[in-house]
C-alpha cells in the first residue's frame, strides 16, 4: 500500500495538498487539504454592508468577478432593490461576467490543465519558420526549462505536430485571455478586482465607443473558442480517450444558473437566466432548485459538532482543530442531504436535462464524434468539454449583449442601507455554484457566509460518511506509476479547484496544528 502526497498541487488557484492511498495500483482513499487560512467572514463582521462587495471580490483573484457578481446580487437583495437594477446595470453585469468566464475557461484549459497532456519539450525538434514555435525552440535550446520542467514524466501522447499546435495555442491563448480581461476593464474600470460593479447596478456610463471596443474583443474571443479551444479539447480527448472513463465522481449536479435575462423578478431562483438554475443526475432528469435544501456538515471537518447540518443563514463557524476523526477545514455542503458536483459539467448537465437545444446539439455532436454514450460526459474529459461548451455558449451571446446596451441611459439606482435585513446572492461562477448570504443588524454586517464552488467539489466526507465529489472521482482510479501520478492530478485539475475560495474561511491542516502545539 502506498501513500502519494502532492504538495503543492500547482496550476490551480491557491494552496492545495492531495493525499491518496494506493493499494494494488488503485486509489483506496483520497483526501484534499487546503493549506491557507485567511478568515474573510471574520474580517467582514461589523463592517458597512456595502463594503462586502469590495472585500469579497478579493477572496479570489482568479474568480474575482464571480464574487463581485454574487456579492452585488446578495446586497441588492438585502437592500430591497433586486428587481430595480436598471437595464444597463443588468446588461453590464452580464457582459462583465461573460467576458470574465470566457477568458477564465481559456486560462484553465491552456495554462492550468494543458501541461498535463502537452509536452512542451517536443518543440525542440521543430523545423519551420513559425516565429512563436522558433522562440519556444530557442528557449528550450538555452537549457533553462523552468517553468515547464520539472514535471511528471511519461504519459505524453500527442503527436509532434499536435504538440506544436497546442504549444502555439498556449501562447496565443495568453494574448486572447488578456483581451478578455481588457473587455472586463472597459466597463469594470480594471481587473482583477473590477471596481465599477456595485450594489444598485454599475457605475460606468455606456457610450458607443465602448460598445464598439467591446464588440471586436467579443468577436475575437468567440473566434478563438470556435477555431481553437473547442477543437483542441476534442483533439486532446482523442489522444487520451480513456479519460472519458476516469474521474466520474458523485453523479449528481447542481447549478445556480447565470446571466440574468430579466431583472424584474426579485427571486434569483425563479428568475430567467441564460444558464438555468436546477439540479440533475446522470439520468439527466431535471429538478428545480430549492435553496432551503442546502446544508453544511462538519462531522469530518475541524468544527464543533453542534454546528453541523445548518443552512448558510444559520451557519456558524466554531473551529475545533483537536476534533477526533476530522480531516479537513472545508465543510461539506450537501443538497437534500446528498453529494452534488458543481461547475461547467453541472451547468451543461442541467441545461441538457432542461431540454436546452443549443446544449443538446453541442453535447450530442461531441458524444457522436467519440461514438460515446452519455455516461462518457461524467468524466475528466467530460468536464473539459463542458467547460469549452460553456465558453462557446457565452461567447456566442457576448456580441448580442453588447448591442443590448443603451448609450446614455442609467446603469445605477440609489438605495438606503436598511437597519436590519437578510440577503442572498447566487450565481454560477466559472467553477460552479457560488452563494453569498448576509445578515445585517444596526446597518452593519452581523454575519456573512460564502458557500463557494470548491467547497462543494473539494468537500470532505459528510455526517453520513459520503466522500466529496473530488474524493469520489479519485477513489477507485488506477494509478499506473506512483512516482508520476498523472491520473490523480488530471482528475483534480478537471474540477478546476480554487482553493482561495474554498478556504476563505479557515484552512490549514489540523493534524499539523496539533503537532505544532504539542511540539
Residues 89-148 that bind another protein (CB under 8 A): 107, 111-112, 115, 120, 132, 135-136, 138-139, 141-142, 144, 146-148
Q: Does 198 bind another protein (CB under 8 A)?
A: yes
x/- string (CB under 8 A) for another protein, residues 234-263?
------------------------------
CB of 80 to another protein, least distance (A): 17
CB of 418 to another protein, least distance (A): 15
- Residues paired with residue 441 on neighbouring β-strands, in sequence order: 444
Nearer to another protein, 173 or 391 (CB): 173
Number of neighbours of residue 349 by Cβ within 10 angstroms: 30
- Strands 2-6 and 16-23 come out as antiparallel
Residue numbers 386-405 binding another protein by CB under 8 A: none
Residue numbers 16-35 binding another protein by CB under 8 A: 17, 35
Nearer to another protein, 181 or 387 (CB): 181
Q: Does 7 bind another protein (CB under 8 A)?
A: yes
Kindly tell me which residue out of 130, 160, 178, 337 binds another protein, with binding defined by CB under 8 A.
Answer: 178
Kindly tell me which residue out of 29, 58, 226, 231 binds another protein, with binding defined by CB under 8 A.
Answer: 58
- DSSP conformation class of 58: G
Q: Does 152 bind another protein (CB under 8 A)?
A: yes
Spacing of C-alpha 518 from chain mean position: 37
Kindly tell me which residue out of 20, 22, 30, 59 binds another protein, with binding defined by CB under 8 A.
Answer: 59
Q: In whole angstroms, what is the distance from residue 419 CA to residue 243 CA?
A: 53
Q: Which of 246, 236, 244 is nearest to 159 (CA)?
A: 236
Residue numbers 209-238 binding another protein by CB under 8 A: 213
Coil, helix or strand at residue 281: strand
Q: In whole angstroms, what is the distance from residue 501 CA to residue 64 CA?
A: 9
Q: In whole angstroms, what is the distance from residue 291 CA to residue 295 CA?
A: 9
- DSSP conformation class of 319: B
Note whether 167 and 118 are within 8 A (CB). yes
Kindly tell me which residue out of 84, 87, 155, 195 binds another protein, with binding defined by CB under 8 A.
Answer: 195
CB of 307 to another protein, least distance (A): 17
- DSSP conformation class of 337: T
Stretch that binds another protein, among 273-281, 387-395, 448-456, 509-517 (CB under 8 A): 509-517
Kindly tell me which residue out of 21, 29, 37, 235 binds another protein, with binding defined by CB under 8 A.
Answer: 37
Which helix (H) or strand (E) segment is 413 a member of? none
Q: In whole angstroms, what is the distance from residue 317 CA to residue 306 CA?
A: 10
Nearer to another protein, 112 or 473 (CB): 112
Instruction: Give the count of alpha carbons within 13 A of 357, CB side only.
Output: 0
Q: In whole angstroms, what is the distance from residue 44 CA to residue 51 CA?
A: 8
Spacing of C-alpha 255 from chain mean position: 12
Residue with cell 431535471: 286
CB of 273 to another protein, least distance (A): 25
x/- string (CB under 8 A) for another protein, residues 474-493?
---------------x----
Stretch that binds another protein, among 187-195, 264-272, 418-426, 456-464 (CB under 8 A): 187-195
Stretch that binds another protein, among 3-11, 298-306, 373-381, 446-454 (CB under 8 A): 3-11
Tally of residues, the chain: 519
Kindly tell me which residue out of 130, 175, 262, 267 binds another protein, with binding defined by CB under 8 A.
Answer: 175
What is the size of the binding site for another protein (CB under 8 A)? 93
Nearer to another protein, 302 or 352 (CB): 302
- DSSP conformation class of 112: I
Kindly tell me which residue out of 2, 25, 39, 288 binds another protein, with binding defined by CB under 8 A.
Answer: 39
Q: Does 48 bind another protein (CB under 8 A)?
A: yes
Q: Does 434 bind another protein (CB under 8 A)?
A: no
Q: In whole angstroms, what is the distance from residue 236 CA to residue 251 CA?
A: 24
Q: Does 412 bind another protein (CB under 8 A)?
A: yes
Note whether 440 and 314 are within 8 A (CB). no
Nearer to another protein, 339 or 402 (CB): 402
Degrees to nearest 5, angle at CA 259 with 257 and 261:
110
Q: In whole angstroms, what is the distance from residue 330 CA to residue 303 CA?
A: 9
Positive or negative CA dihedral for 439, 314, 42, 201? Answer: negative
Q: Is the peptide bond before 506 cis (omega within 30 degrees of 0)?
A: no
Nearer to another protein, 363 or 499 (CB): 499
Q: Which of 178, 221, 224 is nearest to 398 (CA)?
A: 221
Nearer to another protein, 190 or 369 (CB): 190
Nearer to another protein, 203 or 314 (CB): 203
CB of 47 to another protein, least distance (A): 6
Q: Does 55 bind another protein (CB under 8 A)?
A: yes
Amino acid at each position: 500500500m502506498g501513500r502519494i502526497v502532492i504538495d503543492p498541487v500547482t496550476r490551480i488557484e491557491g494552496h492545495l495538498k492531495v493525499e491518496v492511498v494506493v493499494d494494488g495500483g488503485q486509489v483506496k482513499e483520497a483526501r484534499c487539504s487546503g493549506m491557507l487560512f485567511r478568515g474573510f467572514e471574520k474580517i467582514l463582521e461589523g463592517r458597512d454592508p456595502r463594503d462586502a462587495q469590495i472585500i469579497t471580490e478579493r477572496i479570489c483573484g482568479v474568480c474575482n468577478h464571480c464574487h463581485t457578481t454574487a456579492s452585488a446580487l446578495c446586497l441588492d437583495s438585502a437592500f430591497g432593490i433586486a428587481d430595480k437594477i436598471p437595464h444597463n446595470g443588468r446588461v453590464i453585469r452580464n457582459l462583465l461576467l461573460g467576458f470574465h468566464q470566457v477568458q477564465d475557461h481559456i486560462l484553465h484549459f491552456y495554462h492550468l490543465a494543458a501541461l498535463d497532456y502537452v509536452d512542451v519539450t517536443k518543440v525542440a525538434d521543430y523545423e519551420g519558420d513559425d516565429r512563436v514555435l522558433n522562440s519556444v525552440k530557442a528557449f528550450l535550446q538555452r537549457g533553462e526549462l523552468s517553468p515547464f520542467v520539472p514535471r511528471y514524466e511519461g504519459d505524453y501522447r500527442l503527436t509532434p505536430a499536435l504538440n506544436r499546435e497546442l504549444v502555439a495555442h498556449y501562447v496565443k491563448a495568453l494574448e486572447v485571455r488578456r483581451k478578455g480581461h481588457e473587455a472586463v476593464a472597459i466597463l469594470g474600470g480594471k481587473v482583477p478586482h473590477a471596481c465599477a460593479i456595485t450594489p444598485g447596478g454599475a457605475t460606468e456610463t455606456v457610450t458607443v465607443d465602448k460598445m464598439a471596443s467591446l464588440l471586436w474583443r467579443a468577436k475575437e474571443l468567440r473566434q478563438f473558442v470556435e477555431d481553437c479551444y473547442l477543437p483542441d479539447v476534442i483533439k486532446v480527448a482523442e489522444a487520451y480517450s480513456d479519460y472519458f472513463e476516469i474521474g466520474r465522481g458523485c453523479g449528481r449536479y447542481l447549478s445556480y444558473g447565470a446571466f440574468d435575462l430579466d431583472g424584474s423578478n426579485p427571486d434569483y431562483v425563479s428568475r430567467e437566466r441564460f444558464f438555468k438554475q436546477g439540479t440533475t443526475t446522470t439520468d439527466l432528469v431535471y429538478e428545480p432548485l430549492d435553496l432551503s435544501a442546502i446544508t453544511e456538515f462538519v462531522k469530518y471537518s475541524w468544527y464543533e459538532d453542534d454546528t453541523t447540518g445548518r443552512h448558510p443563514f444559520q451557519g456558524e463557524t466554531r473551529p475545533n482543530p483537536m476534533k477526533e476523526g476530522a480531516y479537513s477545514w472545508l465543510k461539506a455542503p450537501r443538497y437534500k442531504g446528498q453529494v452534488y458536483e458543481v461547475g461547467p459539467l453541472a451547468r451543461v448537465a442541467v441545461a441538457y436535462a432542461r431540454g436546452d437545444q443549443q446544449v443538446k446539439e453541442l453535447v450530442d455532436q461531441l458524444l457522436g464524434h467519440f461514438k460515446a454514450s452519455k455516461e462518457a460526459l461524467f468524466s475528466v474529459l467530460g468536464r473539459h468539454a463542458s467547460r469549452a461548451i460553456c465558453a462557446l455558449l457565452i461567447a456566442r451571446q457576448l456580441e448580442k449583449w453588447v448591442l443590448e446596451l443603451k448609450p446614455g441611459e442609467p446603469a445605477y439606482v440609489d438605495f438606503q442601507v436598511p437597519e436590519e435585513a437578510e440577503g442572498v446572492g447566487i450565481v454560477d461562477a466559472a467553477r460552479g455554484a457560488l452563494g453569498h448570504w448576509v445578515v445585517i443588524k444596526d446597518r452593519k454586517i452581523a454575519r456573512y457566509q460564502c458557500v463557494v464552488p470548491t467547497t462543494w467539489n473539494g468537500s470532505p466526507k459528510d455526517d453520513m460518511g459520503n466522500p466529496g465529489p473530488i474524493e469520489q472521482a479519485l477513489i477507485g482510479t488506477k494509478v499506473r506509476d506512483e512516482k508520476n501520478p498523472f491520473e490523480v492530478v488530471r482528475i483534480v485539475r478537471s474540477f478546476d479547484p480554487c482553493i482561495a475560495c474554498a478556504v476563505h474561511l479557515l484552512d490549514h491542516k489540523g493534524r499539523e496544528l496539533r503537532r505544532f502545539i504539542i511540539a
